[in-house]
């Protein structure tokens, strides 16, 4: 059991389970993109640990860039996604692999979809470590999913509650 700010969380997904999911995604990404030179685009702050693990396992040439989006206050989404740090790299005509820590409402994906279309990328694929199918109501396809989970609030492995918990190596759910 851990306490972050005013909330208690209990262990939910072990570090071993997370690493197994990352390994499975990595095998598929190497098969599909190992012969290309994709740009991995991590969505900060949450995806930094996931992005690091994926990049370490990618066997081909690649580049990495980040965007920072924000839509949460506490444990609730505001429904409004703001771009806090935009693209700083030319992506026109490039293959992009979008790395998300979690896909729940899909609001962030909609905003990133607009950004990538405006940037005129050749194509992009969505990779997420965690996916909440009961919360996802958008029509942007998600090609690589580490784990499907119920619509519960989780922290750890990059995910936070008001800034705390990102450094945890396993995932905890709200008690």
pLDDT at 74 (0 to 100): 55
Active-site residue set: 104
Is residue 40 a contact partner of residue 64, using CB atoms and an 8 Å limit? Answer: yes
- Provide the 3-class DSSP secondary structure of residue 150: coil
| pLDDT surpassing 90 at residue 175 | yes
Would you kindly state where each structural domain of the chain is located, as residue ranges? Answer: 2-70+81-174
pLDDT at 69 (0 to 100): 77
The model's confidence at residue 90, banded by pLDDT at 50, 70 and 90, is confident
Rg (CA), the chain: 16
pLDDT at 29 (0 to 100): 98
pLDDT at 46 (0 to 100): 92
Kindly state the DSSP code that residue 37 receives in the 8-state scheme.
-
Cα separation of 49 and 129, whole Å?
10
Q: How far is CA 164 from CA 132, 158, 168, in A?
A: 21, 10, 9
Per CATH, domain 2-70+81-174 is 3.40.50.720: no
Question: 173 in the Ramachandran plot: left (φ > 0), alpha (ψ -120 to 50) or beta?
Answer: beta
pLDDT at 76 (0 to 100): 60
- Return the beta strands (E) in the chain as ranges: 2-4, 7-13, 39-44, 63-73, 76-85, 95-103, 123-131, 144-148, 154-155, 171-174
For the chain, what is the mean pLDDT?
Answer: 92
């Amino acid at each position: 059991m851990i306490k972050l700010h005013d909330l208690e969380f209990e262990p939910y997904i072990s570090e071993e389970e997370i690493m197994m999911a990352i390994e499975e995604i990595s095998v598929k990404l190497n098969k599909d993109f190992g012969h290309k030179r994709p740009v991995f685009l991590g969505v900060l702050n949450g995806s930094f640990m996931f992005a690091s693990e994926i990049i370490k396992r990618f066997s081909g040439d690649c580049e990495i860039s980040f965007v920072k989006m924000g839509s949460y206050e506490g444990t609730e989404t505001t429904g409004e996604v703001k771009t806090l740090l935009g693209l700083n790299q030319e992506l026109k005509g490039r293959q992009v692999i979008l790395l998300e820590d979690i896909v729940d409402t899909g609001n962030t994906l909609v905003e990133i979809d607009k950004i990538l279309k405006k940037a005129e990328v050749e194509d992009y694929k969505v990779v997420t470590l965690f996916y909440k199918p009961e919360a996802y109501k958008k029509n942007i396809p998600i090609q690589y999913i580490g784990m499907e989970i119920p619509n519960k609030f989780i922290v750890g492995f990059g995910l936070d509650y008001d800034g705390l918990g990102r450094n945890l190596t396993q995932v905890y759910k709200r008690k």
